[in-house]
Structure 1
Amino acid sequence: MKQSTYHELNPLVRLKELELLPPELMARMLKAEDLAEVETLLRGTIYGDYLQDDFYESFEEALGQANADLLRELVKLVPDPDVVWIYTMRFTFHNLKALIKAELLDQDFDTLYIYDGFYSIEQIKTAIRTGQASSLPAILLESIQEVREHFEESNSLQGIDIILDRKYLYCQRKVADKIGEPELIKEVIGFIDFTNFLMTARGIKQKRSRNFMSTVLSSHGSVPKEELLTYVEGDLEQLTTYLKTTSYGEIIDPIVENNTIDLSQLERLCDDYLTSYYESAQTQAFGPLPVLALLNAKSIESKNLRLIITGKRVGLTNEQIRERMRETYGS
């Protein structure tokens, strides 16, 4: 990877960061009296060009189109496209889940497709139908084949999500190692660890067996999978005690109450951890992290806008919305 090329790209990234909604504006939206006031504020931003007359019905599409336009621009410019895919891979595997199920159930789930910057809906459908597609990486074709074999043996849709979630984390680590950027590898490992923590906690709540969780958890993080498995058939208090002894102990501590992890806050904590990690990229002139920081910031921005708009629509209080919101740069 030639860092000088990122040196040329990253000034554009800085300009794109200026288009992010400032914390002050998000705070005004949160305090808005109603959706009409939120709409007025949002129409004055870059999202205004994407909104239709029916604000509530069109805002989700507007967020998607704005993010897709950003992806199209970055994919053309970034020296190593895998850097963008490491972030949008979550959309790729979401699309695989939706379109494989559509094929197996003979239904139309096309509206669930999310643009990932790389693989069109037709490319994925072709790969699912034929098992072949020169435009898709081998790992995606392997994932499709494994899901098909599982379904033929069990006729169970549940296994599709389990297989693809595990493949997704494996692919994250594989691509990060291929890129070879130490800080990026560290970020991916952190993401895998937090995902494992969340799945282990959910497994305990759902009383899943050790054998079941062994198929779910990833072995590509820094916290050993086998150690997490020893707590699966215990309780959340035992898991929490263990997690506090790991390198993530201080990060997790704020969401621990009565020595039990607050499961509802764990997913938000993961997003906040990654956001704080990416903040360090704002001072880097070289390497791929500023691109990833921008993509992460756009994703967090979209999540927070959805929370504000949907929360006000269903009558949540400002405090209820605020406690669910993710941290953003400068907040």
Structure 2
Amino acid sequence: MKQSSYHELNPLVRLKELELLTPDLLERMLKAEDLADVETLFRGTIYGEYLTEEFSESFEEALGHAQEDLLKELVEIVPDPKVVWIYTMRFTFHNLKALIKAELLDQNFDELFIYDGFYSLEQIKTAIRTGQASGLPSFLLESIQEVREHFEESNSLQGIDIILDRKYLYSQRKIADSIDESELTKEVVSFIDFTNILMVARGIKQKRSRNFMSTALSSHGSILKEELLDCVEGDLEQFTNYLKMTSYGEMMETIIQNNVINLSQLERLCDDYLTSFYETAQTQAFGPLPVLALLNAKAIEIKNLRLIITGKRVGLSEEQIKERMRETYGT
């Protein structure tokens, strides 16, 4: 892929960035007295046009439709659609998890489907039901087949998430390598590293075995899988000491309390790190990073809006909501 092919696209991406909500507006929502004040502010944004019913019942639908429209537009104009899919693949695998379980349990989980820009609800359901291509790439069909075989042998739903999470990270690296853009590969590797770190931390807390974690962790990050597996047999303090020695050690220091990483802050740290990584896209006139930066900014914006709205609805304080919010692009 030639980076120059993005020369005409990225100015359009910059215009789309202007539609993102400002930090000031999010701050006003955060400080709003009640949900009614948040609704008033929300209706004045680009999301307002998607509201169809009572605010508390339709804001999720509005967030989803706005994201869907952005994806449809980008898929049509981006020189290499795989650049968009490397971000929305998380939705693809979410859909696989939900719809495979629906098939195996003979239930209907269609309402859990999230638009990924590429594969429709019916395409995925057909592929799961028949095992045929249905427009899906071969490695997704292989993932479906592996899950089916696992379920036939174990009759366990738990393995479905483990298999598909591992396949997801493998697919991320596979697509990034095929695009062959160094900064993009660096971002994907960091994402895999953080995902592995989160899994190990949770595995230690849940007292998972080394064998169990070996099936869950990806070997496609920069941190050696064997070193992570060695940490599984210790405690969180030992794992924290190990993380201090990695390339992520300095940022981990910000969430260490009593010599142990704060698990509730670890996922937020991952999101903030990837957002800061995309800051480099602001200086790039060529290449796919600005497109990915926009997608990431939109996802963070939606996540923050959801935190504010649901937080106000259940009575969380401003401080409780704020500590859960992610850093926004450009701030």
Same fold (TM over 0.5): yes
1:128 corresponds to which residue? Answer: 128
Three-state SS of the structure 1 residue aligned to 2:47 is helix
CA distance in structure 2 between the aligned counterparts of 1:58 and 1:252, rounded to whole angstroms: 37
Q: Which amino acid aligns with 1:272?
A: D
Three-state SS of the structure 2 residue aligned to 1:46 is coil
Residue by residue over 1:258-315, the C-alpha shift from the partner in whole angstroms, topping out at 9 and shown as x without a partner, is 1100000000000000000001101110000000000000000000000000000000
2:165 corresponds to which residue? Answer: 165
Alignment of 1:44-63 (within 5 A): 44-63=44-63
Q: Which amino acid aligns with 1:153?
A: E
Residue by residue over 1:220-276, the C-alpha shift from the partner in whole angstroms, topping out at 9 and shown as x without a partner, is 000001001001021000000000000000111100111100000000000000000
CA distance in structure 2 between the aligned counterparts of 1:329 and 1:130, rounded to whole angstroms: 42
CA contact (8 A) 1:88 1:117 kept: yes
CA contact (8 A) 1:151 1:157 kept: yes
1:227 corresponds to which residue? Answer: 227
CA distance in structure 1 between the aligned counterparts of 2:189 and 2:8, rounded to whole angstroms: 28
2:116 corresponds to which residue? Answer: 116
1:24 corresponds to which residue? Answer: 24
Residue by residue over 1:136-192, the C-alpha shift from the partner in whole angstroms, topping out at 9 and shown as x without a partner, is 011100000000000000000000000000000000000000000000000000000
User: Shift of the alpha carbon at 1:131?
Assistant: 0.6
- Structure 1: segments with no counterpart, 5+ residues: none
CA contact (8 A) 2:124 2:134 kept: no
CA contact (8 A) 1:23 1:330 kept: no
Alignment of 1:79-228 (within 5 A): 79-228=79-228
Q: How many residues align?
A: 331
CA contact (8 A) 1:91 1:115 kept: yes
CA RMSD of aligned residues (A): 0.6
Identity %: 82
User: Shift of the alpha carbon at 1:329?
Assistant: 2.0
Q: Which amino acid aligns with 1:141?
A: L
Three-state SS of the structure 2 residue aligned to 1:230 is helix
User: Shift of the alpha carbon at 1:134?
Assistant: 4.4
CA contact (8 A) 1:194 1:270 kept: yes
CA distance in structure 2 between the aligned counterparts of 1:177 and 1:5, rounded to whole angstroms: 18
User: Shift of the alpha carbon at 1:53?
Assistant: 3.5
User: Shift of the alpha carbon at 1:52?
Assistant: 2.1
CA distance in structure 1 between the aligned counterparts of 2:36 and 2:311, rounded to whole angstroms: 14
2:238 corresponds to which residue? Answer: 238
User: Shift of the alpha carbon at 1:5?
Assistant: 2.1
Residue by residue over 1:70-118, the C-alpha shift from the partner in whole angstroms, topping out at 9 and shown as x without a partner, is 0000000000000000000000000000000000000000000000000
CA contact (8 A) 1:93 1:164 kept: yes
Three-state SS of the structure 2 residue aligned to 1:223 is coil
CA distance in structure 1 between the aligned counterparts of 2:160 and 2:193, rounded to whole angstroms: 22
Moved over 6 A (4+): none
1:255 corresponds to which residue? Answer: 255
CA contact (8 A) 2:173 2:188 kept: yes
Q: TM-score scaled to structure 2, two decimals? A: 0.99
User: Shift of the alpha carbon at 1:4?
Assistant: 2.3
CA distance in structure 2 between the aligned counterparts of 1:134 and 1:7, rounded to whole angstroms: 34
Residue by residue over 1:5-61, the C-alpha shift from the partner in whole angstroms, topping out at 9 and shown as x without a partner, is 201000110000000000000000000001111111111111111012400110000
2:268 corresponds to which residue? Answer: 268
User: Shift of the alpha carbon at 1:330?
Assistant: 3.2
Q: Which amino acid aligns with 2:123?
A: Q
